[in-house]
Amino acid sequence: MRRKTAILTISYLSCAVIALGVFSFIHYGRAERYAQFMRSRYQYSFNELVNSMSEIDFALQKSIYATSPCMAGAICTEVFGKAMMAQMSLGSLPFSTQELEQTASFISRVGDYSFALSRSAARGNTFSEEELNNLIKLSDTASLLAQNLRDLQVDMADGHLGAQEIEASQDRMDKVEAEYLSGQLSDSMRKIEQEFPEVPTLIYDGPYSQHITGIKPRTLEGLEEIDENKARKAAANFLGISEGRVYLTSKSEGSIPAYHFNAKVNGGELSIVITRKGGKVLSLLNSRQPKDSSIDAKEAVGIAKRFLERRGFKNMAESYYITQNNILTANFAYKQDEVTCYTDLVKVSVALDTGAVIGFEARGYITAHYERDLPETKVSVDEARKLVSNKLEILSEGLALIPTDGQYEVLCHEFKCRTEEDKHYIVYVNAVTGLQERILILLEDESGTLTI
């Protein structure tokens, strides 16, 4: 009897130990998943902080060259919005208030001051000399902070930094920023409570690539829908190969219904998209990855331009290009009567090892292109030149048609400029109203040019 009781006791204890182990294992797994969730959340918040701070940096750089109330108000509203986003991201990070005091204070100052200036601009005022000096000081500090945050982001991506190391690094950033913030800004800086406004997003894929969303393609209006065979023929003609080498893979709907074909060309798998209306080539992509570069950028841009001319794209002017992974991608815009129509965009990618065209994208051109009835220029180039900040040296000038946020187009004088620090900007002055319409920053390095 005692033996039976002992066996039962041991059995119960064993079951209890096993149950406790299973319970601990389950809860340990839950704790690990929760910890992973929190790490992912902190990583996301940190990345949002980096992006917002970089956008504040760029917007402040542009604000220095705003000479009209309209442009000053637009840029200052953008800074305010990005500062609000940065504050929200900062509040989600696992740092104490004391550790973030300098950074949080700076972001708050940027937002409050920018909103005060935007309200002043709404009353028709431009920046005073004191306000410009304040913006320059804020811009210097934002550039420093943004670069420090980007450096930390790289270290995190490489696995060199965890949350504890980031906390320690925060003190270093705060001390350096304090040197820039030692001078007090104008008394006009004050807190103004206002709901968070909508602000424009940065443009990274060449200037004016986001205007085409939701617009009915102009070049396809009135064209008949073609069948699969005609689409295959159009694809083969564009590629310069026989129809038998082109085979259908799928059909798509969306804003531009299309046929999707594949073909094997020069050692790579090639995909080409043909519009179901009119049989226009929408895009082309070759899977081959060039292993080296033997062609320079100037030659590659020439190859891309000749490629377009042979395929019926006339009067196309090179806008900007970028090189990545031994591939140069050039943006071309249509020119009508010496006016660059940036909405009519075509991109061509050239392999820098052989010079072969391995990418083509004409969605912007197909969507927006038509012969415009251009408005009369009421503001001369001499008058428009006066609207460019005297802190900028004008390198070139011309006429350009650029899109607005409401999917309209405005005729502008385009001034490509340079600062004393050899940074490059583009200033657009409305050729009808005489107001500054937009300011872009050119980011240039050995890989090419981007605009923001």
What integer pLDDT is reported at residue 349 of this predicted model? Answer: 92
* DSSP code string of 321-377: EEEETTEEEEEEEEEETTEEEEEEEEEEEEETTT--EEEEE-HHHHHH-----PPP-
CA 434 to each of CA 70, 74, 337, 380, 438: distance values in angstroms, whole numbers, following the listed order = 11, 16, 21, 9, 12
pTM of the model: 0.61
Q: Does pLDDT of 87 surpass 70? A: yes
Task: Summarize pLDDT for 111-158 with one digit per residue, the tens.
Answer: 877 877 887 787 688 888 888 888 888 888 888 888 877 777 776 666
Q: What is the pLDDT of residue 112?
A: 76
pLDDT above 90 covers a percentage of the chain that reads: 30
* Whether residue 286 has pLDDT greater than 70: yes
pLDDT band at residue 213 using 50, 70 and 90 as cut-offs: low
302 three-class SS: helix
Q: What is the C-alpha to C-alpha distance for residues 204 and 450, in angstroms, rounded to an integer? A: 6
Q: What does DSSP say about strands 357-361 and 424-430: parallel, antiparallel, or unpaired?
A: unpaired
CA distances for 304 relative to 294, 340, 416, angstroms: 16, 18, 24
pLDDT reading at 175 higher than 50: no
Q: What type of residue is 142?
A: A
Instruction: Point out the least confidently predicted range of 41-50, 170-179, 236-245.
Output: 170-179
Cβ proximity of 369 and 344 under 8 Å:
yes
Give the residue among 423, 424, 372 at the shortest CA–CA distance from 400. 372
Percent of the chain with pLDDT over 70: 71
Lowest mean pLDDT among 35-49, 160-174, 314-328: 160-174
* Between residues 350 and 117, the one the model is more confident about: 350
